[in-house]
Chains A and B, each alone.
Chain A
Amino acid sequence: MTTVSMTVNGKTVSADVEDRTLLVSFLRETLGLTGTHVGCDTSQCGACVVHIDGRAVKSCTTLAVQAAGTAVTTIEGLSSGGELHPVQAAFRDNHGLQCGFCTPGMIMTSVDIINRHGAHLDEATVRHELEGNICRCTGYHNIVKSVLDAAGRMTTSAAAE
């Protein structure tokens, strides 16, 4: 057992966990943040993607102890003041989800993609960068549309600030 402390969605959390505890189990079972999903559990599908210090990683392939001392953001931490994050809003507006199981991971990956590429994002880049996120429903077309739409909204609002 190790006492693990980290910041999750802006709040400091601390708990005693077994060293083998995966970050995704820590988030879902210890903290009750069930927005982060487990799809494959074999590091392939990206349903479990969260941000650690701003980098999108697979929480099923990270131990909670490895994330000690970091700042973690999950899908629950994206929106603020009751307003959807622009990527969440774009997924809703563009029908970027059907069953929604892959969506938390898709959105966390997409936020990271937009943060890195900003206004230079094009369709080919979105498709390449979404290689680690699998969706069984949408056929990806509307997901790609959502990411490009969100990138436009985010860079316009950043420019306005």
Chain B
Amino acid sequence: MYSTSYHKAASVAEAESLLAGASDGKYLAGGQTLIPTMKQRLAAPTDLVDLTKIPGLAGVEVSGNTVKIGAATRHYDVASSASVKSAIPALAALASGIGDPAVRYQGTIGGSLANNDPSADYPAAVLALGATIHTNKRAISADDYFQGMFTTALEDSEIITAVSFPVPAKAAYVKFPNPASRYALAGVFVAKLADGSVRVAVTGVGESGVFRASAIEAALAANWSADSAGSIAISPEGVLSDIHGSADYRANLVSVLAKRAVAAAG
């Protein structure tokens, strides 16, 4: 790892000014993506601004039909939160399947969404539930937030502060994990929202990162059943292909996982 200077921010405003004062700084949250990347010398920020000690940036708040999760909330704390488990069990279950226990103790929802890895789990939940990303500057809808592999609507110094999830009528996430890394080889999040609309998001599969499977959404809107989800074939065009799985294989997994997810959602 190249040399770097570490700063602990005490507030969101201080974090922003610390970053502005750095020549090539980066925010640091759980470090479960950034530190391995720095160790490989694929990233070499001159400064790290730690967001995790900012009071109030971590925690879960449920009000009415919304679950709001602070950006610095660790995956473990989402997975074990009684309020997330009762309001959106699919979201708690998703968090409990990220990486391994040590990664879940450190990694944060804000870090995962800022990074937008094409095989990460949280993007699927955010997009399928139509969540809102709150930053120090604005609120961004899920449909506007994800802009391709490792690319988001965030500006350089923008800080995610929280994510608001509307409580759905039904939802489930099923992933086919890469047996070594636990990242999604394919993962499908299906949701029937409180207003009856259906949203289906797919991770691990698209060359441009997480996407909505509109054909599956239409089939489920007409007939919410596992067979209806599984009857839709996904085209392998634009689908990731690597040593872990070909485009055809991943495309087929989407139909299989969508079917399982609807069965799990009930």
Contacts and interface: CB of A to CB of B under 8 A. Distances in A.
A113 B99 CA distance: 15
B31 interface: yes
B105 interface: yes
A22 B35 CA distance: 9
B102 A58 contact: yes
A125 to B, nearest CB: 11
Interface in A50-80: 55-58, 61-63, 65-66
A152 interface: no
A57 B100 CA distance: 10
The A contact surface, by secondary structure, is mixed
Contacts of A129: 100-101
Contacts of A44: 180-181
B1 interface: yes
B232 interface: no
A19 B106 CA distance: 19
Nearest to B181: A44
A47 to B, nearest CB: 11
Contact of B3 (A18, A55, A132, A133): A18
A96 B28 CA distance: 37
A19 B105 contact: no
Contacts of A62: 31, 35, 106
Contacts of B50: 66
A66 B4 contact: no
B43 to A, nearest CB: 12
A79 to B, nearest CB: 22
Interface residues of B, number: 28
Interface in B12-66: 28, 31-32, 35-36, 38-40, 48, 50, 52
B106 A57 contact: yes
Interface string A1-35: 01000000000000000111010000000000000
Contacts of B32: 43, 61
Nearest to A1: B5
Interface string A97-140: 00000000000010011000000000000000101110000000
Contacts of B31: 61-63, 66
A49 B100 CA distance: 12
Given A43-B32, A43-B36, A19 B6 contact: yes
Interface residues of A, number: 27
Contact of B101 (A2, A18, A19, A109): A109
A66 B6 CA distance: 9
A86 interface: no
Interface in B69-108: 76, 99-103, 105-106
B99 A20 contact: no
Given A62-B35, A66-B50, A55 B105 contact: yes
Most chain A beta carbons < 10 A, residue from B1, B28, B40: B1
A20 B39 CA distance: 9
Interface of B: 1-6, 28, 31-32, 35-36, 38-40, 48, 50, 52, 76, 99-103, 105-106, 180-182
Cβ-closest 6 pairs across A and B? A132-B100, A19-B6, A55-B105, A131-B100, A65-B6, A20-B1
Given A63-B48, A131-B101, 16 more contacts: A18-B3, A19-B4, A19-B6, A20-B2, A22-B39, A43-B36, A44-B180, A55-B76, A58-B102, A61-B106, A62-B35, A65-B6, A66-B52, A129-B100, A131-B100, A133-B100
Interface of A: 2, 18-20, 22, 41-44, 46, 49, 55-58, 61-63, 65-66, 109, 112-113, 129, 131-133
25 contacts: A19-B4, A20-B4, A22-B1, A22-B39, A42-B36, A43-B35, A43-B103, A46-B100, A55-B105, A56-B102, A56-B105, A58-B102, A58-B106, A61-B35, A62-B35, A62-B106, A63-B6, A63-B48, A66-B31, A66-B50, A113-B101, A129-B101, A131-B101, A132-B99, A132-B100
